[in-house]
Amino acid sequence: MLNLWDEAEAQEFAKDSTLGLRVYSSQLLGRNADLVLHGGGNTSVKGSQSNVFGEVEEVLYVKGSGWDLQTIAAGGFAPVRLPHLRALAALPALSDTDMMRELRLALLDPSAPTPSVEAILHALIPLRYVDHTHADAVVAISNTPNGEELLRNIYGEDVLILPYVMPGFILAQQVHEATKGVDWTRLKGIVLLHHGIISFHDDCKTSYDSMIELVSAAEAYLQGKGALDKQASKDYCASAQDYQQVAALRAQASAMFGAPMLLRWDASADSVGYSAIENIEDIATRGPLTPDHSIHTKPFAAIFEKDPAQELGKFRDQYRTYFDAHAADYHQCLDHVPRFAVWKNKGMVYLAPNSKRLNIVADIAEHTRKAIQWGEHLDTWSALPQQDQFDLEYWELEQAKLQRTQTSPEFEGRVVLVTGAASGIGKACVEAFVARGAAVLALDINKSVMGLWSSAQVLAICTDVTDSAQVDTAIAQGVAHFGGIDILISNAGSFPASKRLEAMGDEAWEHSLALNLTAHMKVLRQSASYLKLGLEPSVVFIGSKNVAAPGPGAGAYSVAKAGLAQLARVAALEFGGSAIRVNTLHPNAVFDTGIWTDEVLEQRAAHYKISVDEYKRSNILAQVITSADVAAMAVAMAGKAFACTTGAQVPVDGGNERVI
């Protein structure tokens, strides 16, 4: 494992605050997904600070709940009174709910994040810096029948190895008892079987170096046994039927979940190879890499043979059996939808209620897939018993979260396809839907679309929507990435240079028809089968004021947009039986789009002998119309407010006398 420490970089962090080095090494750990994933792991540093009375108090600065090590800042560390934590460790018993209340009470800053559940454990270790990760290599070795023995052989006397117990107070108690009389200066770390590894030192760099050294030793052992290279691989060529089955599975899973879900189909060679392993039904259902992951992924995978939607009920029954076997009267059963699945000979499938959680599930499943194959090569993948997995998944702290009222964004779990997404109205539509929780497939012929968004909610693809093959490919990519299509915002178009009909060239005329009319049909045609499986499906065409009020010199554009309006009316009639709503927006004079340069605006205003601002407001309501205004109406049309409306044509123009 590569040691990322850079002394010059470290010194820059050290200048920022007293927590600078702690922030720096935490981020280094967070950068490596083989150490921690999505909020996993914990780090801390012990120090002191003065209170309002001028008294100096011992403090543990520990990672706060909800913070990710990769991006953590000084404000992500919760300052907790160290003596209070040490006193808690001496208690004979403490429920995790009571522990979390005590941790909040021990905060020196009530606005700070809630301290990590491992705060007491960090307090007990008498070295200044403590690093805790869930390193894949270490946990994978521990998930074999003789994993403890293997780890003792790897680390010798440098590392204390402890059996698995629940995180939180129980783990702190275990470490407290196991380290009585221990010379901490002779230890480099602690391995918690099936859980993770801890390093510590009074020097920040040394603690970080120890973590990298210990994990590297585990990786070297796996490499020496030939395990690291044992990853099954197999190519697979997807069919149109596969994508339909993906969309059908998402629809069925959403119905079972009771709310929209997103789905990702991973048909990479490594995933397909894994799904084709002979005993995959067995090894994929034995348990997670570490029980902490089951909070995100549930403890075992679903197995699909041929038609996932038809086979989803099998997982529901298996999960209910698992719950009934381990639950107490006070447990509240979670939903019965798998979070990851093996689709035999076709790869892996991931499900989640939103894009962020979908990425978490996908990353955890990918690391688990690799670790399982390492364990199988060493001996046998041997996860914890299901009772331990259940205890973590149904941990009282997690159950408490179920009691809290949580309001999801309006379009969370919904998938929106937007064409012409790189600028103007299309870009505004992407941003409006993302702000309301949607996942968006953003298409545009301009390559700049690929770099506009870093959000996991957006998949941007450079696509010429006049090319049927490119449209088919892009939509298939979107379906594999998000699971389907619920909403189509058909926006791509252009306003050709002004030409009177008598001077119109064939190329200009045909290009306008191809982009402003025919391309919309192609996108709708390819989306139709997915919209029929969509969740509250809706189509919004972006038309033009020119449909109702054309002008001279705009024949190629006006005729194409008039055809688009007619296409939308026919689509409303044809798709209504599938509960797909089809409506049209007619914007006018949207001045923050590409065709309205400052030069053009000045020319048009001068032509009418008015100012640019007056020209922009030359509508009945005297409003400046923006792309965001059109996007807001597109969002409304796709939402519940228009649930009983189809075939409508609505202007977004501030009121145009000729249209009215």
pLDDT digits (tens, 9 = 90+) for 60-94: 999 998 899 999 999 999 999 999 999 999 899 99
Specify the number of domains making up the chain: 3
Is the pLDDT confidence value at 594 over 90? no
Mean pLDDT of 410-430: 97
Domain-ending residue, one of 166, 189, 224: 224
Judgement on whether residues 170 and 62 belong to the same structural domain of the protein: yes
Asked if residue 52 is part of any domain, the answer here is: yes
Angle between helices 308-326 and 386-393 (to 10 degrees): 90
Query: Of 372, 402, 432, which residue is a domain's last?
Result: 402
Per-residue pLDDT of 499-518, as tens digits, reads: 999 999 999 999 999 999 99
Residues 520 and 629 in one domain: yes
Catalytic residues: 557, 561
Strand, coil or helix: what is 633?
Answer: helix
Those residues with Cβ within 8 angstroms of residue 233's Cβ, 6 or more apart along the chain or in another chain: 269, 270, 272, 273
Given a cut of 80, whether residue 579 has pLDDT beyond it is yes
- C-alpha span between 53 and 278 (Å, rounded): 68
- Specify the residue for token string 């949207």: 590
Write out the residue range of the structural domain in which residue 183 sits: 7-224
Tell me, yes or no, whether 339 and 455 share the same domain.
no
Please indicate, yes or no, whether residues 92 and 14 belong to a single structural domain of this protein: yes
Does residue 268 sit in the same domain as residue 190?
no
Q: Which H helix or E strand runs over 584?
A: strand 581-587
Q: Is the pLDDT of residue 401 over 70?
A: no
> Same structural domain for residues 361 and 427?
no
Share of the chain above pLDDT 70, in %: 99
**Mean pLDDT of all residues in 578-607:** 89
User: Is residue 99 in a domain?
Assistant: yes
Domain membership of residue 297 (yes or no) is yes
593 neighbors 425 (Cβ within 8 angstroms): yes
351 membership: H or E segment, kind and range:
strand 347-352
What is the signed CA dihedral for 558, 561, 566, 572, rounded to 10 degrees?
A: -160
In this structure, are residues 486 and 538 in contact, taking their beta carbons and an 8 Å threshold?
A: yes
- Which residues, 6 or more positions from 486, have their beta carbon under 8 angstroms from its beta carbon? 260, 414, 415, 416, 531, 534, 535, 536, 537, 538
Q: What is the pLDDT of residues 362-382, one digit of tens each?
A: 999 999 999 999 999 999 999
The residue among 379, 36, 37, 343 whose CA lies nearest residue 230 is: 379
Judge if 521 and 597 occupy the same domain.
Answer: yes
What's the confidence (pLDDT) of residue 405?
56
Tell me, yes or no, whether 262 and 215 share the same domain: no
Residue pair 168/102 in contact (Cβ under 8 Å)? The answer is no
Give a yes or no: residue 473 inside a domain.
yes
Residues 352 and 393 in one domain: yes
329 and 437 fall within a common domain: no
Structural domain ending residue among the three candidates 402, 437, 453: 402
How, if at all, do strands 649-652 and 487-490 pair? unpaired
What is the predicted pLDDT for the residue at 471? 98
Q: Residues 315-331: what's their mean pLDDT?
A: 95
Work out the average pLDDT over 604-611. 88
Q: Please determine, for residue 403, whether its predicted confidence score (pLDDT) is greater than 70.
A: no
For residues 486 and 466, give the distance between their C-alpha atoms in angstroms, rounded to a whole number. Answer: 22
Give CA torsion, residues 422, 423, 425, 427, to 10 deg.
50
What per-residue confidence (pLDDT) applies to 221?
Answer: 97
DSSP 58-123: EEEEEEBTT--TTT--GGGEEEEEHHHHHHHHTSS---HHHHHHHHHHTBS-TTSPPBPTTHHHHH
Task: Give the length of the chain.
Answer: 660
**Cα 329 to Cα 306: distance, rounded to the nearest angstrom:** 37
d(Cα 448, Cα 274) in Å, to the nearest integer? 36
User: Which tens digit of pLDDT belongs to each residue from 219-276?
Assistant: 999 999 999 988 999 999 999 999 999 999 999 999 999 999 999 999 999 999 999 9
Q: At what angle do helices 7-16 and 20-31 cross, to 10 degrees?
A: 130
- The answer, yes or no, to whether residue 95 has pLDDT greater than 70, is yes
Tell me the three state secondary structure of residue 435: helix
Tell me, yes or no, whether 355 and 473 share the same domain.
no
Buried b (16+ CB within 10 A) or exposed e, 580-589: bbbbbbbbbb
Q: What is the pLDDT of residue 264?
A: 98
Q: Write the CATH number for 374.
A: 3.40.225.10
Element (H, E) at 636: helix 627-638
Identify whether residues 393 and 419 lie together within a single domain.
no
Residue 547 lies in a domain: yes
Q: Is residue 146 part of a domain?
A: yes
Parallel, antiparallel or unpaired: strands 196-201 and 189-192: antiparallel
Q: What is the pLDDT of residues 524-547, one digit of tens each?
A: 999 999 999 999 999 999 999 999
SS3 sequence, 465-516? CCCHHHHHHHHHHHHHHHCCCCEEEECCCCCCCCECHHHCCHHHHHHHHHHH
49 token code pair: 């600070």
Rounded mean pLDDT of the chain? 94
CATH of the domain at 485: 3.40.50.720
